[in-house]
Structure 1
Amino acid sequence: MNWHNSSISDVYKLLDSSASGLDQNKAELLLSKAGQNLIQEGKKKTVWGIILHQISDFMIIILIIAAVISGIAGDLTDTIIILTIIVLNALAGFIQEYRAEKAMEALKNMSSSQAIALRNQKAVKINATELVPGDVILLEAGDVIPADIRFIKVQSLKVDESALTGESENVEKNIKKLESENLVLADRTNMGFKGTFINSGHGTAIVVETGMQTELGHIASMIQIADNSTPLQKRLSAFGKRLSLIILLICAIIFISGWLRGEGLTEMLLISISLAVAAIPEALPALVTISLALGAKKLVKQHVLIRKLPAVETLGSVSYICTDKTGTLTINKMTVRKTYEAEDQVKAIFSIEKNNLLSAMALNNDILKSDKGEWLGDSTELALVQYASSKGYDKPKLEKEFPRIAEIPFDSQRKCMSTFHQAGDEIIMITKGGMDVLLGKLTHQNGNEHTKFEEEQNAMSASGHRVLGYAYKLLPKMPDKINPKELESSLTMIGFAGMIDPPREEAKQAISQCKDAGIKPVMITGDHKLTATAIAADLGIISSDDDLVMTGAELSDLSESDFNSVVEKVCVYARVNPEQKLRIIQALQGQNNFVAMTGDGVNDAPALKNADIGIAMGINGTEVSKQAAHMILLDDNFATIIKAIRHGRRIYDNILKFIKYIMTGNSGEIWAISLAPFLGLPIPLLAIHILWINLITDGLPGLALASEPAETNIMKRPPHDPSKNIFGGSMAWHILWVGLLMGLVTLWIQAWAVHNNNHYGQTMAFSVLCFSQLGHVMAIRSKRDSIFKIGVFSNKPMLAALLGTISLQFMIIYVPFFNPIFRTQPLPIYELLITIAASAIVFWAVEFEKIIKKRIKKRS
């Protein structure tokens, strides 16, 4: 219902109410029908539901089955180890999911707890939850508006709606019927909205919507969606399902072939379990989580707080950044950037030495200075006073010389403000207002300059400035009766000032880096089109004629197909509402883009929640926006987002490296176990050996890969393609051939031991596979450059991880306590040297592969 289009009398009829409010009985009846004036929460996940979600993954189910079968077969050690791994992985996931979304609670906290309503023609204080449509309520400065309302009486009433609409300036309310139907919230000046704050004045209003039917309620319903999976999560999930089917097929083949050869069923069952355990990268989820956590910790030093760990990885795939303007791209402080003074002024109004415009700017305002020296008051007036002060025109000093003796306050009807100052025997009346108003109040003495005034004003407005003009009139004495219409006429122009919230200098560079990195920045703001366009052009967001600017009203007129056809060309959206922000995000995502969205208000929460990565402002952001976001900027600076993206790309690259590392090692284990029976060899590895390699040999070096420095061209390449198969191309080939080489080297050592009747064969094979993976991790630290070029010591955590893993491997070989647990034997020096020499084959093979690739690339 467009209540702003209805007259007050029509509102009364529609709600069956009157200026005297409702009677108590009718209000109670309506409350039973409409429900309480509350923001309702969506269905919460139970603790058991979260736990079930953690253990329902298909790969986890296979591990559980393997643990049960191992226990039935009498191998309790493997059962305990496998179950321990499952519990640890589930615990890490449970902790993340248990930090449930709290945006709904924050929305509820924005509601006013009590309200003064007219019931039975008396003003009574009631709980705001008991308000119903038709209630007439009384409001004053300091109140939080308890429901969506239509004002019926106002007295200089201004509302801070920034949290809901994104409009930074307070909105002066009126009671007039508005004709346009498609007004954004910021332009519905006869309405008040639940959760917004009355800064000044007082008034009376009728409640038109309550609870989930309010604008705040609509936002709440848009927030109540499931969290989106990240690109890596989606690809790993798809891979896990495919891998599970392959595991079952291979296990079935091995089991049937062994049974047909006459092997025992129990023995073949345990071999199949070992193969399943080898194939499942059980350390991978934990490694990804820990790597993201380490990345999140480092991002705090870059003034970025990560609320949801997968956001760290998503940063690497971002292709669009939809950002708010105020405070993020700009400094969030109105600043006078341009001034114009009338040339044929009649006289020096204040004195020959004083500048008329600067004096007027210092005197005509309601700004106060606190005991601590802080300026207090409206942001627009504050900008004017501070500009005058910076030029040596201090307000307190001028007021001593030209004391204010009266004023005509600003109101929305006149759109101007006048102050009266004693200047000797005369009275100076200074009038400040919009240029469209002042130009109609000038004396004929300014007539010849009207055209010049309009040209200068239009030029300022076209460049995004808000223009306020100053005019004056000299009076012989203070009139007995102040008549604004009579006094604010036949004025003489002094000049005017152009103000703007200027862009941050570092934001310009950040926008340039965005474009170099293949990321398109898009400004979404509640400001007017001219202002938004000017700022966007200044920052470099708009850089060609193909870059489009669209208003919320224009967006409303577009069908879904028409909007989808142009959404990737639009760089600036002005005067948009919350639903439209969400529509923009979803349209971009529909074009296979990964979208980051910044915001600070309640109105931004749905878009923050639905974006691939929502970024809230830490300084000026509302609690609702912070709870809906994936990450929070602690300095509210757009440039920090680019630093975070660079860091996210590095983390993503390193995650890919240890996925390659883990999967190649698992591939080697699969090759070794599956090929052994066909080569007439005993199974070279037991399940406990595989689990040890997958946890320790994979784990420590895998974590150390997270410390690899960023590639030099990391912000000169396009984002990761979210639709691209993570194992496509060279990675899959690398996993297969290097894994096969690991498996063959392991079986070669096994065959050597069998041929020489060496009873150390299984321990040697186990150690070869372990040490081969350590050589492999050193070789893949860089995809193109040799380890000797990037430097062995360039990643010190990696060296510590290698030394730690080698020490642990020696411990389970040479400490008698661990020999029966891990089925190992102490290796004599000769066997140990053969083991180490064989393990180096994989390292040199991968290094040789890099040389071949470089030569092929040079020839092409």
Structure 2
Amino acid sequence: MNWHLLQLSEIEQLLNSSPKGMDSITASELLLENGKNQIADHKKKTPLRMFLQQFTDFMILVLIAAALISGVLGDLVDTLIILAIILINAIVGFIQEYRAEKAMEALKNMVASTARVLREGKTIDLDACDLVLGDVVVLEAGNIIPADIRFIETHQIKVDESTLTGESHNTEKIAKTLPEGTYGLGDRTNMGFKGTNITNGRGLAYVVATGMNTELGHIAKMIQQDETATPLQKRLIAFGKRLSIVILLICALIFTIGWLRGEAILAMLLTSISLSVAAIPEALPALVTIALAFGAKRLVKNNALIRKLPAVETLGSVTYICSDKTGTLTRNKMTVQETDEIQNTNDYLSFFQENALLKAMALNNDISITKDKKWLGDSTEIALVQYAFDNNINKYTVEKIFPRVAELPFDSNRKCMTTLHQTEKGILVITKGAVDELFKKLDKNQKIVIPEIEFRVNKMSEKGYRVLGYAIKLLPSLPEKLSIESVESSLTLIGFAGMIDPPREEAKQAVAECKQAGIIPVMITGDHQLTAKAIAIQLGIIASEEDLVLSGTELSALTQPQFEVIVEKVRVYARVNPEQKLKIVKALQDKNQFVAMTGDGVNDAPALKNADIGIAMGINGTEVSKEAAHMILLDDNFATIVKAVKHGRRIFDNILKFIKYTMTSNSGEIWAIFLAPFFGLPIPLLAIHILWINLVTDGLPGLALVSEPSESNIMSRPPRSTKENIFAGGMALHILWVGFLMGVVTLAMQAWSMHYSQNHWQTMTFTVLCLSQMGHVLAIRSEQESIFKIGLLSNKPMLGALLLTVILQMMIIYTPLFNSLFKTQPLTIMELVITFAASSVVFCAVEIEKSFKRMQK
């Protein structure tokens, strides 16, 4: 219902109410019929259901099966390790989902708890949740509006709607019906919305929407939508399904070949199961969790608090950052940017000529100062008084010279405010207001130059500034009865001031770095189109004529297909409502973009929740936005996002390195066991050897990859394509050829040692495969740079993991207890040297591969 377009008489008929309010019986009936005025919770999952759902992932189910089979066959150690990893991941996932439920609680807590209403002409206080359609609410400064309302009468009432509309200045409210047209929330000046704050004045209003039918309720519905999976989650799900099926088929094939060759069925079954357990990287979920946790810890030090761990990685895949303007890209503080003083020759005003505009700015306001020297009052007036103060005109000093004796308060109809001051020559009248309104009140002599003044005003307006003018005149004495017609007439315009909520100084650099990293910044704001465009140009968000600016009204006129044609070209959205913010995010996602949304208000919460990553402001952000977001900027600094993106890319790179390492290692094991029969060789490894490699060789160095520093080009390359799978960029080929090489080197060592060291062949074969993987992890620390350039000490945890793994391998070779357990024998010095030499082949091959990559750059 377009309540803002209806006459009050029509509203009274529709609601069956009157300015005196309704009777209690009717109110009770309506409350039963429509329900309470509160934000409803969506159907919650029980904690047990949340926890059990963590075990439904395909890869997790395969791991559970492998753990059970391994346990049945007597390998309880591996079973316990796998189950522990699964349990840790389930607990982390449960905590994240459980905390997400707090978004709705925060939304409920921000609404008014009590309301003052008129019932049958009497004023009563009642719980806000008991309000019904047609109730007449009594409102005054300091109240939270308890429902969506249509004003009946207003007395200088102003409302802070920044959390809902994104506008940085308070909105003056009126009671009259608006002309026919399309209005965004911020333009519905005769309406009030649930959860917003009254900062000034008083008024009466009809309740026109309650509970989930309010604008706040609509936001609640949008927050309750399911979240999107992160790029990493999508890739790992697909990766896990394919990998598990392939590995199970390969293991079945190896079992069949061994059985046909006459190998013992029990031994082949144990080997096949061990190989399947080894080949499925069950450490991957744990490593991802650890990598994300480490990244989250580093990000906190950079003022970015991660609420949902997958968000750390998602940052590295983001292609669009849709940023709220107010308080995020700008300071959320109105500031005078420019003034234009008009020189006048009126002799009778000569006493006020010097710094006349600055004096008028200091005098014409209702600002007060707190004990700790902070200005208190309307944000626009504070900006004007501050500007005068910064230019050596102190409000309180000037007021002593020109004390106020009367005033005509601001009125939204005439868009002006007038103060009257005592001087030696009479009463000084100072009128502040919209320049076009002041033009109507000027002295006839000055009206001649209005076109010239208008040109100067328009130049200021084109910069996106909000322009306010000042005009004065001198009365011989204070009139007995103040009237607008007599006081605000025959004025002399002395100048005007241009104000704007200016961009943060660091935001421009952050925008430039985003663009360099292939990320497109987009401004989404409830502010006016001209202002938004001016800020966007200053920040570099708009850099060419192809960059479009779209208003909420224009967006409403577009169909979804029409919008999706241009969505990737739009850089600024102005005067948009919450539904449109969500529409923008979803349209970009439909174009296969990964979207980050920053914001601080209630209006941002649905988009924050549904974006691939929602980023809330920690200082000025509402609790609703924080609970809906994946990440919180503790310093409200847009530049912090750039640091977070770098961390996200680094973490994803390191996860890919782990996958490359562990899958290549597994590939080497599979190649060795699969090819052995074709060369007339026995199965080279025992089941316990495979499990040892899986536990120690894969585990320790793999986890150390989490600490790998970022690549030098990490912020000069575009985001990883969302269409690419995990094995894109040559990873699949690397896994196959390096794994094949690893398997061939292992079999070559087996063949040689069976001929020259018959008793020790299996120990040498086992050790070559183990140490080859150490050389491989050392070489893949960088995608292109040589290990000798990045330095062995640049990742000290990796160096420690390698040394520990080698020591453990030596322990099972030279310790009698482990010789018995692992079926190994002590090697001679020469055999050990030959083993180390053979193990270096893989390292050298990968370093040669990287040198070819560098030459192709």
TM-score greater than 0.5 by the shorter chain: yes
Closer, same or farther in 2 for the Cα pair 1:88/1:763, shift >3 Å?
A: farther
Structure 1, unmatched stretches of 5+, are none
Deviations 1:102-128 (A, max 9, x none): 211110001111112233543222211
CA contact (8 A) 1:345 1:494 kept: no
Using the alignment, how far apart are the partners of 1:753 and 1:148 within structure 2?
Answer: 84
Evaluate the alpha carbon distance shift between residue 310 and residue 767 of structure 1 in structure 2; reply closer, same or farther with a 3 A threshold: same
Residue 344 of structure 2 corresponds to residue 344 of structure 1: yes
The residue aligned with 1:253 is 253
Structure 2 counterpart of 1:722, one-letter code: T
For the residues of structure 2 that align with 1:828 and 1:846, how far apart are their CA atoms?
29
Take 2:347 and 2:798, find their aligned partners in 1: how far apart are those partners? Answer: 79
SS in 1 for 2:558: coil
Identity %: 65
Where 1:332 maps in the other structure, the secondary structure is coil
TM-score by length of 1: 0.96
Task: Please give the secondary structure, in 1, of the residue aligned with 2:362.
Answer: helix
Alignment CA distance shift 1:352-1:51 (3 Å): closer
2:495 partner letter: G
For 1:424 and 1:437, how far apart are their aligned partners in 2? 29
The alignment partner of 2:43 has SS state of coil
1:181-219 superposed Cα distances (whole Å, 9 cap, x missing partner): 521111111111111111122222111111111100100
Residue 53 of structure 2 aligns with which residue?
53
Q: Which amino acid aligns with 1:456?
A: R
Output aligned runs, 1:365-376, within 5 Å: 365-376=365-376
Match of 2:272 in 1: 272
Equivalent residue for 1:212? 212
List per-residue Cα deviations over 1:158-177 (Å, max 9, x = no partner): 11111111111111111111
Measured after TM superposition, the shift of residue 828 of structure 1 is: 4.7
**What letter is aligned with 1:547?**
D
CA distance in 2 between counterparts of 1:687 and 1:209 reads: 69
**Distance between the aligned counterparts of 1:75 and 1:798, measured in 2?**
29
Q: Cα distance, 1:541 vs. partner?
A: 1.5
Provide the residue aligned with 1:722 in structure 2. 722
Deviation at 1:14, TM superposition (A): 1.1
Alignment of 1:159-178 (within 5 A): 159-178=159-178
Answer whether contact 1:303 1:635 (CA < 8 A) is retained. Answer: yes
Counterparts of 1:324-339 in structure 2 under 5 Å?
324-339=324-339
Amino acid paired to 1:218: H
Aligned to 2:603: 603
- Give, in angstroms, the shift of residue 691 of structure 1: 3.8
Alpha-carbon separation, structure 1, partners of 2:711 and 2:480: 78
For the Cα contact (< 8 Å) 2:136–2:204, is it kept in 1? yes
The residue type equivalent to 2:700 in the other structure is L
635 and 491 in structure 1: CA distance in 2 versus 1, 3 angstrom threshold: same
Bigger Cα displacement from structure 2, 835-844 vs 157-166: 835-844
Structure 1, residues 125-166: CA drift from partner, whole Å, max 9, x if none? 221112121222222221111111111122221111111111
CA contact 2:54–2:90 (8 Å) conserved in 1 = yes
Question: Does the Cα contact within 8 Å between 2:117 and 2:136 map onto a contact in 1?
Answer: yes
Tell me which moved more, 801-810 or 665-674.
Answer: 801-810
Instruction: Check the 8 A contact 1:523/1:572 in 2, yes or no.
Output: yes
Aligned to 1:778: 778
Paired residues of 2:349 and 2:473 also in contact (CA < 8 A): no
Counterpart residue number, 2:389: 389
SS of 2:326's equivalent?
coil
Pair 622,819 (structure 1): closer, same or farther in 2 beyond 3 Å: farther
The one-letter amino acid of 1:233's match is: Q
C-alpha deviations, 1:576-595, integer Å up to 9, x for none? 10111111111111111111
Distance in 2 of aligned mates of 1:225 and 1:688: 48
**Alpha-carbon shift at residue 494 of structure 1 (Å):** 1.1
CA distance in 2, matches of 1:323, 1:280: 41
User: Which residue of structure 1 aligns with residue 702 of structure 2?
Assistant: 702
Moved more, 709-718 or 242-251: 709-718
> Residue by residue, what CA displacement relative to the aligned partner does 1:481-518 show, whole Å, maximum 9, x if unpaired?
11122211111111111111222232222222222222
Residue equivalent to 1:87: 87
* Cα distance in 2 between the residues matched to 1:133 and 1:193: 14
- 1:335 and 1:632, CA in 2 relative to 1: closer, same or farther beyond 3 A? same
Verify: 1:377 aligned to 2:377, yes or no: yes
Superposed displacement of residue 37, structure 1: 1.4
Q: Could you tell me whether the CA contact under 8 Å between 2:333 and 2:379 is conserved in 1?
A: yes
CA deviation vs aligned residue, 1:26-54 (integer Å, no higher than 9, x gap): 22222222112121122323333233332
Alpha-carbon contact 2:116-2:123 (below 8 Å) kept: yes
1:623 paired to 2:646: no
Pairing of 1:544-563 with structure 2 (within 5 A): 544-563=544-563
Instruction: Report which stretch shifted further, 78-87 or 583-592.
Output: 78-87
Who is 2:440 aligned against? 440
For residue 71 of structure 1, what is the aligned residue in structure 2?
71
1:426-480 deviations in whole A, cap 9, x for unaligned? Answer: 1101111110110100011212221111011111001111111111111111111
CA offsets 1:311-339 (integer angstroms, 9 cap, x no match) = 12112221111111122222222221211
Q: Which runs of 5+ in 2 are unaligned?
A: none
Q: Aligned residue for 2:194?
A: 194
AA partner of residue 459 (structure 2): A
Q: Provide the rounded CA distance (Å) in 1 between the counterparts of 2:735 and 2:507.
A: 42
Q: Which AA in structure 2 matches 1:99?
A: R
Q: Tell me the CA shift for residue 836 of structure 1.
A: 2.1
Instruction: Report SS of the residue matched to 1:123.
Output: strand
Q: Give the partner amino acid of 1:231.
A: P
Counterpart of 2:641, as a letter, is I
Give 1:833 shift: 2.9
Structure 2 CA distance for aligned equivalents of residues 121 and 766 of structure 1: 92
Is the Cα–Cα contact under 8 Å of residues 71 and 79 in structure 2 kept in the other structure?
yes
**Residues 480-559 of structure 1 mapped to structure 2, 5 A cutoff:** 480-559=480-559
Note closer, same or farther for the CA distance 1:549–1:650 as it changes in structure 2 (3 Å cut).
same
Distance 1:11 1:413 in 2: 22
Partner of 1:456: 456
Asked if the contact 1:140–1:203 (Cα under 8 Å) also holds between the matched residues in 2, the reply is yes
CA RMSD, Structure 1 to Structure 2 (Å): 2.1
Deviation track 1:248-270 (CA, whole Å, cap 9, x = no partner) reads: 22122223333333444433322
* CA–CA separation in structure 2 for the residues paired with 1:82 and 1:461: 66
d(CA) in 1 for partners of 2:849, 2:512: 37
Residue aligning to 2:40: 40
The alignment partner of 1:365 has SS state of coil
Which segment is superposed worse, 844-853 or 591-600?
Answer: 844-853
Rounded to whole Å, the distance in 1 between the matches of 2:854 and 2:713 is 17
Q: Which amino acid aligns with 1:141?
A: A
Match of 1:398 in 2: 398
User: Deviation of residue 757 (structure 1)?
Assistant: 6.3
C-alpha contact (below 8 Å) 2:85/2:286 kept by paired residues: no
How many angstroms apart in 2 are the aligned matches of 1:195 and 1:821?
A: 69
User: Cα deviation per residue 1:829-848 (whole Å; 9 max; x = unaligned)?
Assistant: 44433332222121111112
| Superposition deviation, residue 823 in structure 1 | 5.3
Structure-1 separation of matches of 2:29 and 2:812:
77
Deviations along 1:42-85, one digit per CA (max 9) or x if unpaired, are: 23233332333322222222232233333333444443344334
For 1:345 and 1:718, the matched residues in 2 are separated by 62
What is the TM-score normalised by the length of structure 2? 0.96
Tell me if structure 2 keeps the 8 A contact 1:350–1:423: no
- 1:715-774, CA deviations, whole angstroms, 9 ceiling, x for partnerless residues? 222211010122024111110111112222233334444445644444433332222111
CA distance in 2, matches of 1:446, 1:263: 108
Structure 1 residues 754 and 78: CA distance shift in structure 2, 3 A: farther
**Counterpart of 2:196 in structure 1: which amino acid?**
T
User: Residues 350 and 301 (structure 1 numbering): CA distance in 2 closer, same or farther, change over 3 Å?
Assistant: farther
